[in-house]
Amino acid sequence: MFRRAVVAAAAAVAALTLVSCGDDTPAASSPSGSTTNLSGTINVFAAASLTGTFTQLGKDFEAAHPGVKVVFNFAGSSALAEQINQGAPADVFASAALKNMDQVTDKSTPTTFVKNELEIAVPKGNPGKITGLADFTDKTRKIALCAVEVPCGAAADKVFKAAGLTPQPDTLEKDVKAALTKVSLDEVDAALVYKTDILATKDKVEGIEFPEAAQAINEYPIAPLTTSKNPETAKAFVDYVLSPQGTKVLTNAGFEAP
């Protein structure tokens, strides 16, 4: 009789243990920090040279998160930094230079996600017969540069100093896209832009490499802003840009991994 009672008690304990384990399993396997329920709009302020790649990344991110809308503001990094510091409703900032990221006060820790380098852009067929950086000192040629306040202009200033040359630009543009437009419309003989921009419009312009470009490689940082009204989605977008999928889109466009 006593033996039967012990066996019954042991069986009851075993049953309780199994039930307890069964109750704990779902809690242990439930995901934490999931971003599958992201929603709302985020405003991404990004350098003009990121227009093509970030537009694609935005579409891909929205497809992965149907409740999310990504709105972009593309412009020169210096102008974007000023807008953010003046209170513009931005959630993410992606700059073409560390300097402009440093100017933004309300940011999380930035991460460098790509690098880029200058090339000489000329119209198809190179009607101005541009051969190298020295041609930018020729007053008889029409030349476009970015204003020195924006990253492509600051990089151009570095390469000219490295080459010991003084350029003679006919126009200083607000960002790299504006400088490239002058070339694609055949309004200038040459401009200094990023190689990624030339690749994106290779049906309209041609690129000429020059050795001094290695003296001014731009690093691109990205960060969510601490003032974001949708911080979870902002961080998720930054994480997507930094992911293998995001890196692939960027490197396929000619950007270099950091």
Whether 22 is in a domain gets the answer no
Bridge partners, 171 (sequence order): 144
Tell which residue, 216, 200, 258, 248, has the closest CA to residue 117: 216
**Is the same domain home to 107 and 183?**
no
DSSP letter string, 96-141: SSHHHHHH-SSB---EEEEEE-EEEEEETT-TT---SGGGGG-TTS
Identify which has the larger pLDDT, 87 or 3: 87
Q: What is the pLDDT of residue 203?
A: 86
Whether the pLDDT of residue 17 is over 50: the answer is: no
> pTM score, two decimals?
0.82
Q: What is the pLDDT of residue 19?
A: 38
**Is the same domain home to 57 and 140?**
no
Whether 44 is in a domain gets the answer yes
Name the pLDDT band for 37 (thresholds 50, 70, 90): confident
**Is the same domain home to 81 and 164?**
no
Whether 159 is in a domain gets the answer yes
**Is the same domain home to 107 and 127?**
no
Q: What is the pLDDT of residue 36?
A: 61
**Is the same domain home to 134 and 181?**
yes
Bridge partners, 23 (sequence order): none
**Is the same domain home to 201 and 126?**
yes
CATH, residue 90: 3.40.190.10
- CA torsion, ordered 95, 97, 98, 101, to nearest 10 deg: -30
**Is the same domain home to 207 and 229?**
no
The predicted model gives 85-114 an average pLDDT of 96
Share of the chain above pLDDT 70, in %: 86
Whether 10 is in a domain gets the answer no
Bridge partners, 144 (sequence order): 171, 191
Q: Are 161 and 124 in contact (CB under 8 A)?
A: no
Whether the pLDDT of residue 7 is over 70: the answer is: no
**Is the same domain home to 128 and 241?**
no
* Phi, psi dihedrals of residue 160, rounded to the nearest 5°: -65, -40
Containing structural domain, residue 100: 40-115+220-252
Note the pLDDT tens digit of each residue in 120-161.
999 999 999 999 999 999 999 999 999 999 999 999 999 999
Whether 225 is in a domain gets the answer yes
**Is the same domain home to 168 and 123?**
yes
Share of the chain above pLDDT 90, in %: 83
| Ordered strands of the 205-208 beta sheet | 171-173, 143-146, 190-194, 118-123, 205-208
Whether the pLDDT of residue 178 is over 70: the answer is: yes
Average pLDDT, the chain: 88
Question: Could you tell me the sign of the dihedral formed by the alpha carbons of 33, 42, 49, 154, in that order?
Answer: negative
Note the pLDDT tens digit of each residue in 197-242.
999 988 899 999 999 999 999 999 999 999 999 999 999 999 999 9
**Is the same domain home to 128 and 156?**
yes
**Is the same domain home to 122 and 94?**
no
Tell me the helices (H) and strands (E) count for the chain, helix number first: 9, 10
Whether 110 is in a domain gets the answer yes
Q: Count the domains in the chain.
A: 2
Whether 247 is in a domain gets the answer yes
Whether 5 is in a domain gets the answer no
Name the pLDDT band for 35 (thresholds 50, 70, 90): low
- Copy the structure tokens of residue 193: 């832009």
**Is the same domain home to 145 and 189?**
yes
Whether the pLDDT of residue 22 is over 80: the answer is: no
Note the pLDDT tens digit of each residue in 160-173.
999 999 999 999 99
